[in-house]
A and B are shown apart, each in its own frame.
Chain A
């Protein structure tokens, strides 16, 4: 404390009133700022988790759409394939044989999405009428890390 303040106590009272306020605010400032920013971080973390969950659900939706589209393409091929060439084309070998191929089901902004397609068929001849029929199956499999998701396209073709 300087001698000017000692000699002028009235001025000193006025000046120290403001300092008391500042010091008391700073005394609790650490706690208040920490609490406020802790709450902010908590909200940010929850928001982040929500965004991540939405992103994962969206990615799941995209993959579902693409595998559905690929399965519909397999169904369309099975429906329109010339019946007399089903066996000779070897596109659907008779079970337990099968063929496997990697096809591009679509393209995301960050690259193509490749899926595996396995095709097989079950041949059957009706013992009474002798009519031959095929059950054409296509398995569309998408692998994401250690998880694999499969969709099945089944079409029955009858002679």
Chain B
């Protein structure tokens, strides 16, 4: 009868086949009398009677297969769960990818839309141009373009003007706001820049009778805002 003992590693009390010693009991000083006892008449070599924690000596051939089963089980469970983890990781990466593609629409476009609608809503009049130079010179206005010039009524006689311009390159990359001084001249550099982020294009449109601005992101996403009167 095999009994697993964690203290001594003894698996069978009958394994002392020819040894004339009694079966060991826990705490019995086996090693101290081992040599003399076996040399005193044991039928089997001394290693058969050795009862100190020596698993090789106390492990019969039938027990060695358990190690293989354990190893196979560990490997099988590891492979099974690793494959599950790999599939979970794959789905997780896909979700992260989808989430990152929505970053412009979910995080940047709302802020830009709020800034644009507030800024454009304060204007009493507007005109759209094809480039910043035309807007500054107030010439060649069009119905659709990347630059809009805004006129805002002031308490005085002359209105104040500002320019909203989008540029994909250069130092003024992104959406920039140019506010004219009291003399009516525009600064060379933007008065302030809007946080553009993944914005790739901005188009102002007046074909419908109201000022619309369409923002396009880097993932073929776009959204259109309108200027409401305050």
A residues adjacent to B (C-beta < 8 A)? 1, 5-6, 9, 12-13, 15-16, 19-20, 22-23, 26-27, 29-30, 33-34, 37-38, 40-41, 44-45, 47-48, 51-52, 54-55, 58-59, 61-62, 65-66, 68-69, 72-73, 75-77, 79-80, 105-109
Whether the Cβ atoms of B47 and A5 lie closer than 8 Å is: yes
B203 neighbours in A (Cβ, 8 Å): none
Query: How many interface residues does B have (CB within 8 Å)?
Result: 55
The answer to whether B105 has its CB under 8 Å from any CB of chain A is: yes
Whether the Cβ atoms of A26 and B71 lie closer than 8 Å is: yes
Offer 20 A-B interface pairs, CB within 8 angstroms, sorted by A.
Answer: A5-B47, A12-B56, A16-B55, A23-B67, A26-B70, A27-B70, A29-B70, A29-B71, A30-B73, A34-B77, A44-B92, A45-B88, A51-B95, A55-B95, A65-B223, A76-B226, A77-B226, A105-B224, A106-B105, A106-B224
Instruction: Give Cα distance in the complex from A108 to B103, angstroms.
Output: 11
The answer to whether B183 has its CB under 8 Å from any CB of chain A is: no
Instruction: Give Cα distance in the complex from A79 to B229, angstroms.
Output: 7
Whether the Cβ atoms of A66 and B73 lie closer than 8 Å is: no
Whether the Cβ atoms of B77 and A37 lie closer than 8 Å is: yes
A5 neighbours in B (Cβ, 8 Å): 47, 56
Whether the Cβ atoms of B85 and A62 lie closer than 8 Å is: no
B222 neighbours in A (Cβ, 8 Å): 106-107
The answer to whether B140 has its CB under 8 Å from any CB of chain A is: no
CB distance from B24 to the nearest CB of A (A): 18
Instruction: Give Cα distance in the complex from A97 to B196, angstroms.
Output: 43
A47 neighbours in B (Cβ, 8 Å): 92
The answer to whether B101 has its CB under 8 Å from any CB of chain A is: yes
Instruction: Give Cα distance in the complex from A59 to B106, angstroms.
Output: 8
User: Quick one: given A16-B57, A44-B88, A58-B106, are A77 and B74 in contact (CB under 8 Å)?
Assistant: no
Residue of A nearest to B56 (CB): A16
The answer to whether B23 has its CB under 8 Å from any CB of chain A is: no
The answer to whether B142 has its CB under 8 Å from any CB of chain A is: no
Residue of A nearest to B121 (CB): A76
Whether the Cβ atoms of B95 and A69 lie closer than 8 Å is: no
Q: Chain B at the A interface: mostly helix, strand, loop or mixed?
A: helix
Whether the Cβ atoms of B228 and A72 lie closer than 8 Å is: yes
Residue of B nearest to A60 (CB): B106
For the complex of A and B, the 5 pairs showing the least CB-CB separation, nearest first, are A16-B56, A76-B226, A109-B219, A37-B81, A106-B223
Instruction: Give Cα distance in the complex from A30 to B67, angstroms.
Output: 11
User: Quick one: given A41-B85, A73-B226, are A30 and B77 in contact (CB under 8 Å)?
Assistant: yes
Whether the Cβ atoms of A72 and B117 lie closer than 8 Å is: yes
Instruction: Give Cα distance in the complex from A65 to B225, angstroms.
Output: 10
The answer to whether B221 has its CB under 8 Å from any CB of chain A is: yes
A68 neighbours in B (Cβ, 8 Å): 113
Instruction: Give Cα distance in the complex from A15 to B96, angstroms.
Output: 52
User: Quick one: given A37-B77, A37-B78, are A69 and B225 in contact (CB under 8 Å)?
Assistant: yes
**Which residues of chain B (27-54) have a CB below 8 Å from chain A?**
45-47, 50, 53-54
> Among the listed B77, B81, B89, B223, which residue makes an inter-chain contact with A69, where contact means beta carbons less than 8 Å apart?
B223
B115 neighbours in A (Cβ, 8 Å): none
Whether the Cβ atoms of A9 and B77 lie closer than 8 Å is: no
Whether the Cβ atoms of B117 and A51 lie closer than 8 Å is: no
Whether the Cβ atoms of A9 and B110 lie closer than 8 Å is: no
